[in-house]
Amino acid sequence: MADTTSSSSTATREPLERIMPRGVVARGSAAEARLRELWETPPGWRGWLSTVDHKRIGIRYLVTAFVFLILGGVEALIMRVQLAQPNGTLLTPEQYNQLFTMHGVTMIFLYALPVLSGFSNYLWPLILGARDMAFPRLNAFSYWIFLFAAIFLYASFPLGQAPDAGWFNYVPLSGLEYSTGPNIDVYALGMVLLGISTTVGAVNFVVTLLRMRASGMSLDRIPVLVWGTMTASCGNLVAVPSVSLAFLMLWMDRRIGTHFFDVSNGGRALLWQHLFWIFAHPWVYVVVLPAMGIVSDALPVFCRRPLVGYGPVALSTIATMLIGFVVWIHHMFATGIPALALSLFGAASMAIAVPSAIATFAWIATIWTGRPVFRVPFYYFAGFVLLFVMGGVSGVMTAAVPFDWQLTDTYFVVAHLHYVLLGINVFPVIGGVYFWFPKFTGRMMSERIGKLAFWIMFIGFNVAFFPMHIAGLLGMPRRIYTYAPDMGWSTVNLVTSVGSFVLALGILLFLCDLLYSLRRGAAAGDNPWDAGTLEWSTTSPPPPYNFAVAPTVASRHPLWEGRMEEEDRDGMRSSLKEGFILDQGREALGTTALEARPDVILKMPEDSYTPFVLGVFATLFFAALALLAWWFAAATLIGCAASLVVWLWPERGLIQREPQRVQDAGS
């Protein structure tokens, strides 16, 4: 067996049946205590900084993302106060520019994807039947870089020097001739830093899916949430380099003297839009597809039947991302693109509605043919389906080139953007919190408060954002900080502002329910929803090692299979307990990519401070670039190199010994 550990799991090729007997482990047994000792993170600040436990990292992503949801919401409310009446004076033009830029950056980059990463980090190993993610230290590094990049982006905000060219950051307005302060530099370098987090996280998800599934969990048995996150991760690996390159080139134009986007020196301003939207339009699906996966996996639980059309839904998930890479030009219809390109990209923008419609009809058919149980998560998932249709219809409308020419840069586009990025993300996320909160904490959230919060949020959302369509049709431009009273926009803006505060009240009520339930919620039990997927076969909350033995599955719904075929639930639960015993240190089972046959033993790394330290040095390096402190940048690079050496330095593993066969106490 391999005797080294690093960020990447180390594999051994010894015969599995010889070194890993099958068996079961009873709760409270000596084997279970040994596993807990091996996998549990030490208490205190040392464990907090060094942990590589995917569950703790997932919760950190969720908490941090909700903090930024609150920040972005507060920024939005301030803007809505400014726009509630004509000739608003709460904000100056510069303050408004900074506010709506940071609102967009926060909601799109610091909330929408990280909150889904939180779900996936926590749930993936449990859903797939694994002990952890494929690269636990890389997982921790991804979170620390995300957190530090977010702090980096907000660092200039208190100084009045926040980014102010919009989250799209178009040149030449973001060039040095129009913005001489550090604000755009902070945005550019912060986005490159954030791109590192996104990229390493995507690699981790892809490798985890390919190599760390439960025995028997072939590709046609994985949950749709896994398909959604895997597709989004593959999209990130292609799209993020584009925007990282664009921001790096912009910083070089501003501070080193290059001319990538400088038209007067042979550059191309339109190049920025191409590089940005090649990333930003697939990003829409990156923050939607995992949310759709949440609905596809959780909604059937409350309909008491499997998802209708699993295969078409999984294929539509992949097709949506593929088509999403060939529709970025519809953000540039008004930039003078040749007519042939307009027609091709307009057709592709309409065609992307087809795979989305497949998923929509699958959800509706699941509800129609099932026996719905109207619990709180069901309300959020059903509300999501309606918002998904509304946002999709307005998207198809803007795919028509003449229509887009009339409404581009109006509030109609703002309305569509919020239905797509907020309604289609927030409602599945909150529904997912209610659904998996028992798994996270072992407690239930309130049904009464949850339903009240849903109706307040649903009504507030539509009152806030549907009138924006009308404002756009009336000709109200986006990105304006005030307007004259005779423009005819006063009523719709007042209604939008009132709806925004109603929506905020609903979210506040949800957060109060969440915080109250953490301490006083009713005990949940292991599987309070009677769900069928693998994560509900463990205790709630799960033990540090997830599964005492690596489970073996034979269906897409392992906890339902006995009932569906033989009305023998207990027999199915017993079969889930049969698997390989992994107690020779921190170990996980590696399986083949397609059929998930047991293949290798993976030696998983111990907790380590190096992901945190490397994240600190990487952030300081980008801060040095922003300050043009070249000597400090060189020093931080040395720190990064030293951290990597410590990270990858071989460690002596546990001494190999023959594992003992563990018998169930009840057998």
What's the pLDDT score for residue 556?
87
Helices and strands, number each (H, E), in the chain: 24, 6
What's the pLDDT score for residue 44?
86
pLDDT exceeds cutoff 90 at 529? yes
pLDDT exceeds cutoff 90 at 498? yes
Q: Are 607 and 46 in contact (CB under 8 A)?
A: no
What's the pLDDT score for residue 16?
52
What's the pLDDT score for residue 654?
40
pLDDT exceeds cutoff 60 at 661? no
Distance CA 298, CA 301 (A): 5
What's the pLDDT score for residue 581?
72
- Rounded to the nearest integer, the mean pLDDT of the chain is 88
pLDDT digits (tens, 9 = 90+) for 544-603: 999 888 888 888 888 887 665 443 333 334 445 456 777 778 888 889 998 989 888 888
What's the pLDDT score for residue 20?
47
pLDDT exceeds cutoff 70 at 26? no
Complete DSSP assignment for 479-509: S-S---GGGS-HHHHHHHHHHHHHHHHHHHH
**Domains in the chain and their CATH numbers?**
52-520 (1.20.210.10)
> Which of the 8 DSSP states describes residue 587?
E
What's the pLDDT score for residue 36?
87
Mean pLDDT is lowest, of 137-141, 160-164, 397-401, 604-608, for: 160-164
What's the pLDDT score for residue 178?
87
Q: What is the pTM of this model?
A: 0.92
What's the pLDDT score for residue 244?
95
pLDDT band at 242 (very low <50, low <70, confident <90, very high): very high
Distance CA 401, CA 408 (A): 10
Q: Are 50 and 138 in contact (CB under 8 A)?
A: no
pLDDT band at 656 (very low <50, low <70, confident <90, very high): very low
Cβ count within 10 A of residue 258 = 15
Q: Are 236 and 302 in contact (CB under 8 A)?
A: no
pLDDT exceeds cutoff 60 at 658? no
CA neighbor of 431 nearest in space, from 381, 397, 494: 381
CA neighbor of 378 nearest in space, from 304, 460, 287: 304
What's the pLDDT score for residue 652?
63
Pairing of the two strands 579-581 and 587-591: unpaired
What's the pLDDT score for residue 563?
61
Helix H or strand E encompassing 549: strand 549-551
Question: What mean pLDDT comes out for the span 222-240?
Answer: 95
Beta-bridge partners for 550? 580
What's the pLDDT score for residue 24?
53
Choose between 236 and 38: higher pLDDT.
236
Backbone angles phi, psi at 332, to 5 degrees: -125, 25
Task: Please state, for a pLDDT cut of 70, what percent of the chain lies above it.
Answer: 90
What's the pLDDT score for residue 574?
40
Question: What mean pLDDT comes out for the span 151-160?
Answer: 87
Complete DSSP assignment for 91-155: S-HHHHHHHHHHHHHIIIIIIIHHHHHHHHHHHHHHHHT-SS-S-HHHHHHHHHHHHHHHHHHHT
What's the pLDDT score for residue 586?
87
pLDDT digits (tens, 9 = 90+) for 339-376: 898 999 999 989 989 999 999 999 999 999 999 999 99
Distance CA 67, CA 341 (A): 41
What's the pLDDT score for residue 579?
62
pLDDT exceeds cutoff 50 at 437? yes
What's the pLDDT score for residue 179?
85
Q: Are 324 and 285 in contact (CB under 8 A)?
A: yes
pLDDT exceeds cutoff 50 at 538? yes
pLDDT digits (tens, 9 = 90+) for 266-323: 899 999 999 999 999 999 999 999 999 999 999 999 999 999 999 999 999 999 999 9
